[in-house]
């Protein structure tokens, strides 16, 4: 008489096998390392990565106690549910009588009201204290960085130092340089859609919203290179919207600023010929005038070229002039073939409008045909064809 009941019990227990199996599968997946160009090299984990900011460390300090408390409550509740299900199951088909019913218990009702209320109160007080410290701002931060997000890249502007870094895409991810042990204030905004500024090692994430400036401060405590990315889906190339932060000592940071603001070296004028050297020959004849190719981006269509076709003469000097009237950084890259897998032929400077303009001169390919060009920051949305005629 007990054998069918035992079989049913084993069957019920067998249904629970997928739960630990799924846990083992997730644990195995956690060994996979992030291979993104500026991503975190640590394998995914249930716990936060190494936190390198003072503010992030305070937030992370709440993670373990809350996690342990949640695990204890989970196993307590699930354990009681499983125990009750097993202990008071119907053992025989004909046993339809209900067990003894308990209607109300003052002690239990007080306990399951006060204990959760106490837990929530303690968590609220601890979270409020940490939040106040994390959101605190100094009156005079050591460094200010204006972060402008756009599809699909970033611009980092140091207004007090006159330095601007911009880039986008998987291959053109920009790098921000910051000093350690100094207060750094970020001012976030976006030019098109909502983005999210996220650096896992900072243990901090904040949205960049068009028309709004979100501010926060951090103090980096450990030098290193830390990967960041947009954490808010913003379009087809969202997965390539990376950047990195290089945290360095104060002296190295100052040297980097001096390097960024130093004027480009100029060639010294040619002096008189040394004794015994022949005098300079006659000036070379004027080079042929380069043909001019003009392309632009307008404010009305900030992620598009005004034309998708350019024309040049084979083997002739050619000047490529690009005007950007939008507030989003762009450039022009021309390749020596029908797509971006071909070697790059020429690239303009990356500029941000409105009213910005740049030009570069190159020699058009000697073989007539169609050649691919694009914006290196928006390689999917801004493309075109350069037709080289004989």
Percent of all residues in the chain with a pLDDT value above 70, rounded to a whole number: 81
Q: What is the pLDDT of residues 50-100, one digit of tens each?
A: 889 999 889 888 888 899 999 999 999 999 999 988 887 777 766 677 777
> Are 297 and 216 in a shared domain?
no
The confidence band for 11, taking pLDDT boundaries of 50, 70 and 90, is: low
Q: Are 334 and 342 a contacting pair, CB within 8 Å?
A: no
Query: Does 48 map to a domain?
Result: no
User: How many whole angstroms separate alpha carbon 19 and alpha carbon 23?
Assistant: 6
Query: Does 47 map to a domain?
Result: no
Q: What is the pLDDT of residues 217-260, one digit of tens each?
A: 999 999 999 999 999 998 888 888 999 999 999 999 999 999 98
Query: Does 171 map to a domain?
Result: yes
Query: Does 267 map to a domain?
Result: no
Q: What is the pLDDT of residues 131-170, one digit of tens each?
A: 998 888 888 999 999 999 988 889 999 999 989 888 887 7
Query: Does 5 map to a domain?
Result: yes
What pLDDT score was predicted for residue 25?
56
The total number of structural domains that make up the chain: 4
Query: Does 46 map to a domain?
Result: no
Q: What is the pLDDT of residues 86-110, one digit of tens each?
A: 887 777 766 677 777 778 788 888 9
> Are 222 and 165 in a shared domain?
yes
> Are 120 and 197 in a shared domain?
no
The confidence band for 40, taking pLDDT boundaries of 50, 70 and 90, is: low
> Are 358 and 251 in a shared domain?
no
DSSP labels for 101-129? Answer: -----HHHHHHHHHHHHHHHHHHHHHHHH
What pLDDT score was predicted for residue 2?
47
pTM of the model: 0.64
> Are 154 and 253 in a shared domain?
yes
Q: What is the pLDDT of residues 310-327, one digit of tens each?
A: 999 988 999 999 999 987
Res. 33: pLDDT tops 50: no
> Are 247 and 156 in a shared domain?
yes
In which residue are the tokens 């004909």 written? 94
> Are 150 and 241 in a shared domain?
yes
Distance of CA 280 to the CA centre of its chain: 55
Query: Does 104 map to a domain?
Result: no
What pLDDT score was predicted for residue 265?
66
**How close are the terminal C-alpha atoms of the chain, in Å?**
96
> Are 161 and 219 in a shared domain?
yes
> Are 313 and 236 in a shared domain?
no
DSSP 220: B
> Are 234 and 333 in a shared domain?
no
Domain extent, residue 195, equals: 143-261
Query: Does 2 map to a domain?
Result: yes
Angle at CA of residue 196, ends 199 and 234, nearest 5°: 130
Helices then strands, each counted (H, E), the chain: 6, 18
> Are 152 and 132 in a shared domain?
no
> Are 123 and 165 in a shared domain?
no
User: CATH number, domain at 212?
Assistant: 2.60.40.420
Does residue 374 sit in helix, strand or coil? strand
């Amino acid at each position: 008489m007990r054998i069918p009941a035992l079989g049913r019990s084993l069957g019920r227990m067998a249904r629970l096998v997928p739960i630990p199996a799924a846990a083992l599968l997730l644990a195995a997946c956690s060994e996979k390392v992030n291979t993104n160009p500026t991503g975190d090299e640590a394998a995914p984990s249930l716990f936060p990565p190494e936190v390198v900011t003072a503010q992030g460390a305070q937030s992370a300090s709440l993670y373990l106690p809350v996690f342990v408390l949640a695990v204890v409550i989970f196993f307590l509740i699930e354990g009681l549910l499983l125990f009750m299900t097993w202990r008071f199951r119907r053992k025989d088909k004909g046993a339809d009588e209900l067990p003894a019913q308990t209607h109300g218990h003052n002690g239990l009702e007080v306990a399951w009201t006060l204990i959760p209320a106490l837990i929530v109160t303690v968590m609220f007080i601890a979270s409020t204290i940490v939040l106040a410290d994390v959101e605190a701002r100094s009156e005079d931060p050591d460094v200010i960085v204006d972060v402008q997000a756009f599809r699909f890249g970033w611009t980092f502007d140091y207004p007090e130092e006159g330095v601007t870094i911009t880039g986008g895409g998987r291959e053109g991810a920009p790098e921000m340089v910051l000093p350690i042990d100094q207060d750094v204030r970020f001012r976030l905004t976006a030019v098109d859609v909502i983005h999210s500024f996220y650096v896992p090692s900072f243990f901090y994430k904040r949205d960049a919203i068009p028309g709004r400036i979100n501010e926060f401060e951090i103090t980096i405590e450990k030098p290193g290179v830390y990967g960041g990315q947009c954490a808010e889906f913003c379009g087809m190339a969202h997965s390539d919207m990376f950047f990195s932060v290089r945290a360095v000592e104060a002296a190295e940071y100052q040297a980097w600023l001096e390097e960024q603001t130093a004027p480009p070296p100029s060639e010294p004028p040619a002096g008189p010929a040394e004794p015994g050297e022949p005098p300079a020959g006659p000036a070379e004849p004027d080079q042929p005038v380069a043909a001019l190719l003009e392309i632009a981006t307008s404010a009305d269509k900030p992620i598009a070229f005004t034309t998708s076709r350019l024309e040049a003469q084979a083997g002739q000097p050619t000047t490529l002039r690009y005007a950007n009237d939008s507030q989003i950084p762009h450039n022009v890259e021309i390749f020596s073939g029908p797509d971006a897998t071909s070697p790059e032929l020429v690239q303009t400077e990356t500029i941000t409008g409105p009213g910005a303009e740049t030009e570069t001169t190159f020699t058009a390919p000697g073989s007539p045909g169609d050649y691919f060009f694009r914006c290196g920051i928006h390689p999917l949305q801004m493309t075109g064809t350069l037709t080289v005629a004989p």
